[in-house]
Amino acid sequence: MPSGGPGAAGPPWSSGVRRRADGEVEVAGVTAAALAAEHGTPAYVLDEADFRARARAYREAFEAAFAEVGAGLDVYYAGKALLTIGVARWARSEGLRVDTASGGELAVALRAGVPGSEIGLHGNNKSDEEILTALDTGVGRIIVDSLAEVERVADLADRRGVVAPVMVRVTTGVHAGGHEYISTAHEDQKFGLSVAPAPDGGTSPALVALEAVVDRASLHLLGIHSHIGSQILDPSGFEAAARVVLQLRADLARRTGALVEEVDLGGGYGIAYLPGEETLEPGPVARDVAAAVAAVCAELGTALPRFSVEPGRAIVGPAGLTLYTVGTVKPVTVADDDGEFTRLYVSVDGGMSDNIRPALYGADYHAEVVGRASDAAPVLARVVGKHCESGDIVVHQVMLPGDVRAGDLLAVAATGAYGRSMASNYNGLTRPPVVAVADGASRVLVRRETLDDLLALDQG
């Protein structure tokens, strides 16, 4: 086994995961077997204390580092990583605000009791209905993503007789993150407005949009937003992007007299998925970015704005694991340049419908047998799902005890982010429940889907 097991301190397991002397693994005092017996498998299991500790750590680290240079800061939990009513309440009770990416996420945050003023609404193609809901519920910031949207939000705000607080999402040209599909600030993609001059050398699309916001009486230009990507492990991108955004803010002030009061630096803080893998600690990143923005504002001679950040994965990712039951186990002989070897294919009762990340991004995960101890020699295994696709892989490569067998409970670490939130019903599978564990007890945050749920949508 490549790690000391879930009992080892630190990532990729949540802090409440321990392997007991009898070999069983527990989460916050509840054994994997008890969780499986009560909730069935597959199940997403969330360690509430771990989530709260990470939320607190991000808020405290960023608040302190920015206070040190004289700037205020808010942390928005990026709900796209995983948003349920319970999770939104945890985030809020730890002093975080909530960032939503659609009317659906907005509805969950509102249902959780998060005040509109503490919610941000993103989206590169918001519907009128989504914008109107945001206006009607007093959403604190609508992050506009195109020039057309500036006009649309302004018109809808006019219609409602309100002034909409908006931020303009810009692309800084800083390219960061784990995979092309999750890197969002390079030029050839759909998000935001470029800070680069127009092809004819004219005003950048970002400045054009910012000036359009300034011109509309029904819009209040709250700030500038930049999100550079996701699963970022090199923090220098955040500093580079912040520099570009602050320069843009100064340019806008020179042209219009409007010095925007807020700058949002987005999310993207990377986590460890495998034992021994690197992770970003909020303290050092926050200090580096705070020092950089202070230096840039001093150079530019502009007052510091208020800042915000939007971590999602870094808060909920490591707090979650997925519990599966092993079914078919099949040795397969494979050959590569070094000759033939055996790979043990271990099929579990879920797969790409509950975690699309390995298939979509080639993402790696770590798994262990968690229902019992085993002295069997470890063998090279691949954990696969039950879907009718050979790309239905849960864990590409992991050492599992050679006696792994049907009925074993298997846990996959660090699945809290972008697992349930990207889940599907492919092959007619029902989506697993989200179960929270704290202080030796578990409770269901989102119940398991049933076949009746599936059939209820089908109008025949």
Residue whose CB is less far from ligand LLP, 312 or 401 = 312
Q: What's the first-to-final CA gap in the chain, in angstroms?
A: 50
As a whole number of angstroms, the distance between CA 28 and CA 26 comes to: 6
Residues 393-422 that bind ligand LLP (CB under 6 A): 417-418, 422
Residue whose CB is less far from ligand LLP, 104 or 331 = 104
Residue whose CB is less far from ligand LLP, 314 or 344 = 314
Cβ pair 52, 94 in contact under 8 A = yes
Decide if residue 241 touches ligand LLP (CB under 6 A). no
With CB under 6 A as the contact rule, which of the stretches 7-15, 20-28, 160-168, 266-274 interacts with ligand LLP?
Answer: 266-274
Residues 71-90 that bind ligand LLP (CB under 6 A): 78, 80-81
Q: How far is the CB of 259 from ligand LLP (least distance, A)?
A: 23
Residues 295-334 that bind ligand LLP (CB under 6 A): 310-314
Q: Which of 9, 51, 13, 49 is nearest to 32 (CA)?
A: 13
As a whole number of angstroms, the distance between CA 55 and CA 451 comes to: 35
On the CB side of 125, CA atoms within 13 Å amount to 1
Q: How far is the CB of 78 from ligand LLP (least distance, A)?
A: 3
Residue whose CB is less far from ligand LLP, 78 or 292 = 78
E-strand stretches of 71-147 = 73-78, 97-100, 119-121, 141-144
With CB under 6 A as the contact rule, which of the stretches 262-270, 333-341, 374-382, 439-447 interacts with ligand LLP?
Answer: 262-270
As a whole number of angstroms, the distance between CA 225 and CA 307 comes to: 10
User: Which of 86, 165, 223, 267 lies at the binding interface for ligand LLP (CB under 6 A)?
Assistant: 267
As a whole number of angstroms, the distance between CA 314 and CA 238 comes to: 15
Q: How far is the CB of 126 from ligand LLP (least distance, A)?
A: 13
Residue whose CB is less far from ligand LLP, 99 or 149 = 99
At residue 92, the 3 state secondary structure works out as helix
Q: Which of 68, 69, 86 is nearest to 77 (CA)?
A: 86
Residues 149-178 that bind ligand LLP (CB under 6 A): none
Token code pair at residue 19: 């392997």
Residue whose CB is less far from ligand LLP, 315 or 369 = 315
Residues 350-369 that bind ligand LLP (CB under 6 A): 357
Decide if residue 227 touches ligand LLP (CB under 6 A). yes
With CB under 6 A as the contact rule, which of the stretches 16-24, 103-111, 225-233, 324-332 interacts with ligand LLP?
Answer: 225-233
With CB under 6 A as the contact rule, which of the stretches 44-52, 129-137, 260-268, 381-389 interacts with ligand LLP?
Answer: 260-268
Residue whose CB is less far from ligand LLP, 314 or 367 = 314
User: Which of 230, 308, 353, 355 lies at the binding interface for ligand LLP (CB under 6 A)?
Assistant: 230
Residue whose CB is less far from ligand LLP, 47 or 264 = 264
Residue whose CB is less far from ligand LLP, 229 or 401 = 229
On the CB side of 256, CA atoms within 13 Å amount to 18
Q: How far is the CB of 375 from ligand LLP (least distance, A)?
A: 36
**Cα–Cα–Cα angle for 374, 379, 384, rounded to 5 degrees:** 100
Q: How far is the CB of 202 from ligand LLP (least distance, A)?
A: 27
Residues 94-133 that bind ligand LLP (CB under 6 A): 99, 122
The values of phi and psi at residue 123, to 5°, are 135, 135
- Active-site residue 297, yes or no? no
Category of 96 on φ-ψ map: left (φ > 0), alpha (ψ -120 to 50) or beta: beta
Decide if residue 193 touches ligand LLP (CB under 6 A). no
Structural element, H or E, at residue 54: helix 48-68
**Amino acid (1-letter code) at residue 371:** G
User: Which of 35, 182, 265, 409 lies at the binding interface for ligand LLP (CB under 6 A)?
Assistant: 182
Decide if residue 12 touches ligand LLP (CB under 6 A). no
With CB under 6 A as the contact rule, which of the stretches 52-60, 226-234, 280-288, 333-341 interacts with ligand LLP?
Answer: 226-234
275 cis-preceded (ω within 30 degrees of 0): no
Catalytic residue among 377, 388, 451, 456: 388
DSSP assignment, residue 198? P
Binding residues for ligand LLP, rule CB under 6 A, total 23
As a whole number of angstroms, the distance between CA 317 and CA 386 comes to: 24
Cβ pair 281, 273 in contact under 8 A = no
Query: Percentages helix, strand, coil for the chain, rounded to the nearest 5?
Result: 30, 25, 40
As a whole number of angstroms, the distance between CA 245 and CA 389 comes to: 44
Radius of gyration for the chain, computed over Cα atoms and rounded to the nearest angstrom? 23
C-alpha dihedral sign at 227, 303, 67, 220: negative
Active site residues: 388
Residues making contact with ligand LLP (CB under 6 A): 78, 80-81, 99, 122, 182, 184, 227, 230-231, 266-269, 310-314, 357, 417-418, 422
